[in-house]
Structure 1
Amino acid sequence: MMGLNGAAVFVIQVFGGLYLLLVVLRFILQLVRADFYNPLCQVAVRATQPLLRPLRKVIPSVGGIDTASLLLAIVVQLIVMSLTLLLTYGVVGNPLQMLIWAVIGVAALFLKVFFFAMILMVIVSWVAPNSHNPAAELANQLCEPMLAPLRRIIPTMGGLDLSPIVAFVIIQLLDTFVIGYLAQMTLMPAVISRLI
């Protein structure tokens, strides 16, 4: 029975995590005003549209922020965490605590998207600087709003752009000392903290 529960948790985490990634990506795409004609953007749009369309009818955007996709991301994270706890321990946590964990999880994924987009952007800039690959273009569109203010502060050294290094440090500090600290302070169980 334990083996079946473990397999079910794995499947829920993989497919729930993949859908959650698409929802968070959809939120970020609107936040950074990315090109929605990019084929990778279209994947996120098509996968999330069935649930977002009805949500948007009742939850309007606030200040240009797509609150419907942000709420959907929190709900998906909440469902994945609840099912993980239910199948692992046979119980679900306090609803308020679960909601806090879901928000922490979405924030952690938000940082991871930027982290890996920057890794892709840096690698492509070294290997194929003028690439028109959809993944490379999307990575540039995701990272540019974060890197542009840093470039104004940090001068280039010998033609080398140091802003991605500073951005990596900022993301790592936020992940370790804000997200990690919040997870500890809210007594997030190990089976949940592995999700973030």
Structure 2
Amino acid sequence: MSGGYLSNALVFLLNTVFGLYIGAVMLRLILQLVRADFYNPLCQAIVKVTNPLVRPLRRYIPAVGRIDSSSVLLLVVLQIINTCLLMLLVGHSIRPPGLLVLAIAELLSKGIYLYIFGIFIAVVASWIAPGTYNPVLGVVESVIAPLLRPVRRRLPTLGGLDLSPLVVLLGLQLVLILVVAPLKDLGVALI
């Protein structure tokens, strides 16, 4: 009986530690892509946390355009390690093709949930304290703006009510259902 509890605790710890670090690296990559304010305290913290693994990779892996290839590679490797450890912990066999597909699906899922969380933060902040500035909100706005901007251009506001976050949230949920879930199923089938 206690083995189940121990393995549950280990799964929780692995998912938490890897999830937080993968989230930080993913945020770093997104912040670079949207050209967020590097001097923002949250951006500085993310760079400090991720530098120990990203910097050494940058020496050997060049950026491709505006995409930081070393961060992308680090994300994939960390997710593969996390998935591999979880599979070994629960006693599943591991096949590289399935592992890679599962890792990509998990990264897509985490990225989408990062945007969903950011949109919720921005919406709640706009209701609680509209018009105020907070360093965290500045970063959140710069991250979610590329998703909201095209929808805001096409969707009129209704009496001052911006419905673009709702439309984007619906779109992100559809991507989770129609793209990520089948990818996860494919990865499981390949393992």
TM-score (norm 1): 0.90
Equivalent of residue 60 in structure 2, options 58, 61, 72: 58
How far 1:188 sits from its partner (Å)?
6.2
Q: Which runs of 4+ in 1 moved over 6 A?
A: none
Q: 2:32 aligns with which of 30, 33, 36?
A: 30
> Map of 1:1-196 to 2, 5 A cutoff?
1-89=3-91, 91-187=92-188
Could you tell me how far apart the structure 1 residues matched to 2:8 and 2:177 are? 28
Sequence identity, in percent?
Answer: 41
SS at match of 1:187: helix
Q: Residue 161 and residue 2 in structure 1: after superposition, are their counterparts in 2 closer, same or farther (change >3 A)? A: closer
Distance 1:84 1:188 in 2: 16
List runs of 5+ in structure 1 lacking aligned partners: 190-196
What residue number does 1:194 align with? none
| Alpha-carbon distance between aligned partners in 1 of 2:164 and 2:152, rounded to the nearest angstrom | 6
The answer to whether the 8 Å contact 1:154/1:162 transfers is yes
Whether contact under 8 Å (1:6, 1:88) holds in the other structure is no
Q: Report the residue type matching 2:177 in the other structure.
A: T
Cα drift, residue 5 of structure 1 = 3.2
> AA paired with 1:170?
G
Q: 1:32 to 1:3 in 2, by over 3 A?
A: same
Shift of 1:2: 4.3
Distance 1:121 1:8 in 2: 33
Letter in 1 for 2:128: V
Cα distance in 1 between the residues matched to 2:59 and 2:182: 36
Superposed CA RMSD: 1.6
- Structure 2 alignment gaps of length 5 or more: none
Normalising by structure 2, what TM-score? 0.92
Q: CA deviation at 1:61?
A: 1.2
**1:188/1:124 CA distance change after superposition, 3 Å:** farther
SS of alignment partner, residue 76 of structure 1: helix
Asked whether the 8 Å contact 2:58–2:70 carries over to 1, the reply is yes
